[in-house]
Amino acid sequence: MSREQDDMLRRGIGMTSQRTRERLIQRLYEEGVSNARVLEVIRRTPRHLFVDEALAHRAYEDTALPIGHNQTISQPYMVARMSELLLEAGPLDKVMEIGTGSGYQTAVLSQLVERVFSVERIKVLQDRAKERLVELNLRNVVFRWGDGWEGWPALAPYNGIIVTAVATDVPQALLDQLAPGGRLVIPVGSGEVQQLMLIIREEQGFSRRVLGAVRFVPLLNGPLA
């Protein structure tokens, strides 16, 4: 982590103590997150910078929080688990994120992989996320304002794709943009019935693994200013 990120971490300690962060990391470990690198990045990433100031005191609770526009910042466990699933087979150099949102998952990914390509349909959220990542000196992220269902075909293929909103079905466009051996982590379903899935592109097609029930906001069509 850079000196700028270390400074940002220290400046946040008065409001959100290091002890509170450590309790969160211990909880994630107890809930089954075992990738030490993922846990370290979660520990060092100042989540309070990605939520409204009025909710900063809750930033290190293991819960999703509202960020406006009917969107949420994901539960830290889910951020850690999805990141861990992407990295199961080893380091990745090119990952696409569908749903920048607050930018928190983006910030975590940017410290775990070489390059992140993040797509967001709500322009104001994307602009805020960009500002936060610049503050943290995280400069290996490229943003696109657009429809997450379409992905970012111009820069495909990707070694990993992570989707931070629930799709009613797996978008074919995302499967098409997955590199051989690439991994797609995506919640699929609707309403109360949602499942987290890991899809891997193999020589003869795609393998699919259902990983359990989750709860995400819906993946919507079309960019929104």
Positions marked catalytic: 74
Query: What one-letter code names the amino acid at 46?
Result: P
CA 161-175-213 angle, 5° bins: 65
Which H, E and C letters describe 37-106, residue by residue?
A: HHHHHHHHCCHHHHCCHHHHHHCCCCCCEEEECCEEECCHHHHHHHHHHHHCCCCCCEEEEECCCCCHHH
**95 closest CA partner among 49, 169, 163, 17:** 163
User: How far apart are alpha carbons 163 and 96 in whole angstroms?
Assistant: 8
Torsion (CA) 33, 37, 43, 49 in degrees, nearest 10:
-110
- Cβ contact 189:213 at 8 Å: no
User: How far apart are alpha carbons 73 and 71 in whole angstroms?
Assistant: 7
